[in-house]
Structure 1
Amino acid sequence: MKKKNTDNLQQEMMNAPDLNQFLSRNQESFVNASVSELLNQLFERKNISKAALAKQAGMSEIYLHQIFAGRRKPSRNRLLCLCFGLEASVEETQELLKLCGMAQLYPKLKRDAIIYYGLLHGLKLFEINDKLFDEDEEILF
């Protein structure tokens, strides 16, 4: 069975008289990938070593390997650090956040706007942390 898009799922959900029936009919449409699987998919599309990624993401190689092995689940901030380290696009970052069940970047929030801008313009993580600090916003790490 083909996966349904979000609009189709929402429409079907509104018309479904029974939640259990809806859930069983749509099992193949739900996202089942773990954070580590999603990160590995993104990592494989980039030309970077895990050692370089750890350095660019501001984390230890041990912690990075634990995330990629599925032994640790990163916070939203750490996931954003990884996106900067992977030089992910805004679209890749937003998709990763969404699929991991985390809030996407919302440009109406000053902190998120700074992070969004950094991704959009290819800024490095330390540059974004400096700007967040200067603007009295929580840094990423």
Structure 2
Amino acid sequence: MKESSTSALLHRLFNSNDLENFFECNADAMQTPEFHAYIQNLCGELKLVPEQVIRYSGIERTYGHQLFNGTRKPSRDKVIQLAFGFALDLDGAQRLLQIALKSPLYPKIRRDAAVIFCIDRHKDFWETQSVLHSLGLTLLGGE
């Protein structure tokens, strides 16, 4: 079955008279991959190894490996840290948050705006922590 864009899926939902039938007909398009499988695949796509991503994310090594093997579920901050570890752009970071079922970065929130700024400027995790600290904002992982 072909992959559906969100807007096409939304259009089909609005035009559907039967929600159960909609779910049945669009089940493949509505699947969200498991977070650990997604980040493992992302490593392969970006030619990175989990150890590199964990180190660049500033996440404790054991905890990071638990995220990659699926024994731990990440907090929103850990997902953002992984976005830095993968050196993702804003769309990639938002997708990572979506896969983890966490709220997206929102520019009306000062801390999120600072994180968005840093992602856009290709700052690494440690530079981002410095920016957050200089603005008096909560550091990533300080939840």
Give yes or no for TM over 0.5. Answer: yes
Cross-structure match for 1:61 = 61
1:67-115 Cα deviation digits (max 9, x unpaired): 1111111111001111111212222112222233222222232211111
Quote the Cα distance in structure 1 between the aligned partners of 2:55 and 2:99.
Answer: 25
Counterpart of 1:87 in structure 2: which amino acid? Answer: A
2:10 equivalent to 1:6:
no
Quote the Cα distance in structure 1 between the aligned partners of 2:102 and 2:58.
Answer: 20
RMSD: 1.7
- Report which stretch shifted further, 11-20 or 66-75: 11-20
Quote the Cα distance in structure 2 between the aligned partners of 1:35 and 1:62.
Answer: 17
Counterpart of 2:37 in structure 1: which amino acid? Answer: E
Cross-structure match for 1:19 = 19
- Report which stretch shifted further, 59-68 or 92-101: 92-101
| 8 Å contact kept, 2:57–2:82 | yes
Cross-structure match for 1:139 = 139
TM-score, length of structure 1 as denominator length: 0.88
Runs (5+) with no aligned partner, structure 2: none
Equivalent pairs counted in the alignment come to: 141
